[in-house]
Chain A
Amino acid sequence: MLDQRAQTAGSTTAAGQITKIAVLAAVAALAVWAALPLIGARAWWGLAVEAAVVAIVFYTYLQRRSIPLKYLVPGTLLLIAFQIAPVVMTAGTSFSNYGDGHRTDKDGAIEAIIAAGVQQTSGGANYRLAVGESASGELTLLLTDTADGSTWAGTEEGLTELDGATVDASGAITAAPGYTVWDLAELNERQAELAELAVPTGPETGIKVQGLSAFEGTSTRSYDEGCDCITDSETGTVWYADNEEGSFLTEDGQAALVGWRVNIGFDNYLSVITDPDIRGPFLGVFAWNVMFAAGSVLFTFVIGLGTAMALNKPSMRGTKVYRTLMILPYAMPSFAMLLVWAQMFNRDYGLVNELFGLSVNWYGETWAARAMVLIANTWLGWPYMFLISLGALQALPTDSLEAAKIDGATGVTAFRKITLPLLLIALTPLLISSFAFNFNNFNAIQLLSGGNPFPAGESVGGTDLLITYAFRQAFGATTADYGFASAVSVFIFLIVATISAVMFRTTRSQEDVY
């Protein structure tokens, strides 16, 4: 059969050929368009990757030897680019100290530290200041030259000309493409970060912030390659490079604010074990994470199965109406219903406290908050369990149930000894994937409790899952620590992989598909 198909594969119609040529032409056009910015930026690696992808696509659809390839390549390319590559990159980042304060390479860090020592000199340029964040979250000074009105974007890496910015009457930039401009409130809140930021413009010159303006000047600091250190000639401070930590340290161990990105090996992982400030909360989060996933599966399954058992009676009246109504919660958009539940648990006006006459502070106490997320998540999940249980119940072999009945097994005994084991065989894979899903149920926590309650001064909340914890480490209000967040992600990967391995083992006997 296969050989036949291989021989006839070439006998495509004219319409098919034209479609193929048109699609390949579109790919070629797209490739040229995509190559231009890469060539412009001299990103030769990017260009090589692009060329390889285009070559694979052309080879696949022009060759006749392997037909399956034609059907697998589109999905596989996307899978590699946007799922596998990010996983590999996450693993790579987890071994680095990448994050705020460690974004650039060493030369960049040296320039930034030197620029931070800039003193105003006469004749240096003056700027009107606005502050914003780039698309990738980098703190950026948005500067308007008071002399000629030209606009610039400055980061700790350097100064670039900014086109297309909107300027108000005083000359300050109010909007710029690719940047989120801060308002005054945000500016005040993050004053400290601003004071430390300096934009290098030359080996010894840089731009520093002063109030709502910025100036260019010459630095009193200089880098000496011999001692691998930076000396401030005015204050006499000397920072020595620590090439393992990626920081410049003074004699008494004070780090300069800007460091650079280095490979720190297993430090991110080890800190979970060795640093008591991280270990305690981390283990707490992990234990609750397992509890949350197991509890969600248990409660949804018990309610879903119970309901399915009740409705699994063809002669019963109204089953159709019941079933339709029970699908309703499943059909509602889950993100919105999570937000509704969040409001229902409001302490003062929420429905739950009102209905039951309670005054529980659902967001303020750890166990109340945990009960809350479990209740809401059970509500979201039981219709799914109901549907699959009903399907599995109806597919049960009736003869074993009949035989049990003849043997005198009734009610609870029959259920426990026959129905449940048979059901579990069919449903175990789904229960395991449900566990894996809930293990990483970001929405349920983020939209319901947001990780609350937070003990005073802690960044780990009582209902935090590992995934929400990692997310906050990377994108939360405090400083970003991409390295540590990635390490937590890798940890989650390992757990899910273990779950998958267990799942493969339990289901292998049932798979007859190979």
Chain B
Amino acid sequence: MATVKRRKRPGWIAEFGWRHLVAVAVLVFGLVPILYVVSAAFNPKGTLSATSLLPTDFSLVSFDRLFSDPNIPFASWFANSLMIAVPAAFISILISSLAAYAFSRFRFRGRRPMLLFLLLIQMFPAFLSVVALYLIFGAIGEFYPVAGLNTKLGLMLVYMGGALGVSTWLMKGFFDTIPKELDEAATIDGASHAQIFFGMILPLAAPIIAISGILAFVGTMNDFILASLFLTDRPEMTLAVGLKTLTADNSPASYFGIFAAGTLLTSILTVAVFMSLQRYIVSGLTGGAVKG
């Protein structure tokens, strides 16, 4: 017994010790900025110089100013971001799931080239042609002021342009795993292709729809380049553009705490979503890994 015990100790270090060491070291790196944001958000002074890594004091001043300062329309920014990102994610998922269904269940001419083309398009983010988009929407705005520059609708249309590229492949891969026999049975029962898609495939593919939707939502929330170009009026800005103005060089020093508070409130939304769907996210990403 005694010899076994003695042998077990070095075994534990070789077996598990280094693993914990690595994990803790990486976690320190990973969590320090987040801890810093929390510390800054609850700091009563809210300036960069007064903020340390560990919170020294507790105050809700920054959160209060976030909603009371007329110069910081945080609530509008938040609402704008949601008003753009939620419909954009919803429509883009609808559009790409439609396409994924066609690619998964039908064989038609041009199918393979189109699939390859979508893979290629994925590599070209919309903002690469930002100059052209700017000119195009300037022209659109002259005819249709509701969809020109400085409008939410215009920005959403740009996001829609990339809808097909984002998740068609991921969804097609998932649709392929749903047995075709189910379709055939439904067809024999008299279901139309639309009924099969909306009534059967979509509900069965709920996990992948959820993941694609969240990734599209988060991607839209994080967009800065297009949003900053399209939305220039202060109350019309999204969170990304608006929060950036708080850290600009000419902003008052105390805006840092307000910015940190805004960051925390923004992240509550995304963190909650990620945490609740953790398992799906891992499998979704690796699914993407196999399918490119």
Contact = CB atoms under 8 A, between A and B. Distances in A.
A383 B30 contact: yes
A322 B27 contact: yes
B156 to A, nearest CB: 10
B206 interface: no
B40 to A, nearest CB: 8
Interface stretch (B1-9, B66-74, B217-225): B217-225
B127 interface: yes
A355 B53 CA distance: 9
Contacts of A291: none
Interface string A334-361: 1111011111101011110011000000
A474 B128 contact: no
B128 A34 contact: no
A174 interface: no
A28 interface: no
B247 interface: yes
B64 interface: no
A505 interface: no
Interface in B86-126: 95-96, 98-99, 101-102, 106-108, 111-112, 114-116, 119-126
Contact of B187 (A8, A74, A323): A8
A71 B143 contact: no
A331 B124 contact: no
Contacts of B187: 4-5, 8
Nearest to B243: A336
Which of B23, B37, B116, B126 counts the most chain A CB atoms within 10 A? B23
A306 B18 CA distance: 11
A514 B53 CA distance: 53
B235 interface: no
Interface string A314-328: 001110001111111
B11 interface: no
Contacts of A499: 123
B34 A328 contact: yes
Identify whether the interface residues of B are mostly helix, strand, loop, or mixed. helix
Contact of B192 (A11, A335, A510): A11
A429 B292 contact: yes
B271 interface: yes
A325 B256 contact: no
Identify whether the interface residues of A are mostly helix, strand, loop, or mixed. helix
Contact of A76 (B164, B271, B274): B164
B254 interface: no
B84 interface: no
Given A11-B192, A310-B23, A333 B221 contact: yes
Interface string B224-236: 1100010010000
Interface in A354-408: 354-355, 379, 382-384, 387-388, 390-392, 395
Which of A8, A46, A333, A489 counts the most chain B CB atoms within 10 A? A333
Which of A89, A383, A470 counts the most chain B CB atoms within 10 A? A89
B29 A379 contact: yes
Contact of B274 (A16, A331, A429, A433): A331
Interface stretch (A191-199, A276-284, A438-446): A438-446
A274 interface: no
Number of contact residues on A: which range applies?
35 or more
A166 interface: no
Interface stretch (A77-85, A200-208, A234-242): A77-85
Nearest to B160: A78
A328 B30 contact: yes
B257 to A, nearest CB: 11
A409 to B, nearest CB: 17
A513 B194 CA distance: 24
B270 interface: yes
A430 B30 contact: no
Interface residues of B, number: 123
Interface in B1-59: 15-16, 18-20, 22-23, 26-27, 29-34, 36-37, 47-49, 51-53
A4 B16 CA distance: 59
A440 B128 contact: yes
B26 A326 contact: yes
Contacts of A56: none
Contacts of B119: 500, 504
Given A351-B53, A447-B244, A343 B195 contact: no
Contacts of A328: 30-31, 34, 271
A475 interface: yes
Nearest to A7: B187
B237 to A, nearest CB: 12
Contacts of B207: none
B65 to A, nearest CB: 17
Contacts of A38: 143
A332 B49 CA distance: 24
B272 to A, nearest CB: 9
B107 A89 contact: no
B190 interface: yes
Interface in A60-95: 66-68, 71-72, 74-76, 78-79, 81-83, 85-87, 89-90, 93
Given A12-B192, A333-B222, A388-B286, A67 B106 contact: yes
Contact of B149 (A13, A136, A310, A442): A136
A212 interface: no
A135 B149 contact: yes
A26 interface: no
Contact of A351 (B36, B126, B273, B291): B36
A504 B17 CA distance: 41
A307 B51 CA distance: 30
Nearest to A427: B289
A507 to B, nearest CB: 5
A1 interface: yes
Given A5-B187, A8-B187, A322 B134 contact: no
22 contacts: A12-B194, A78-B163, A82-B161, A90-B128, A136-B138, A178-B145, A306-B26, A307-B26, A324-B278, A326-B26, A328-B30, A328-B31, A331-B273, A333-B221, A333-B263, A336-B239, A337-B37, A355-B53, A391-B285, A440-B128, A470-B131, A496-B124
Given A331-B275, A351-B52, A354-B52, 7 more contacts: A72-B99, A75-B164, A78-B95, A331-B273, A344-B36, A436-B123, A442-B127
Question: Nearest 6 CB-CB pairs, A to B?
Answer: A82-B161, A391-B286, A136-B138, A331-B274, A86-B129, A71-B102
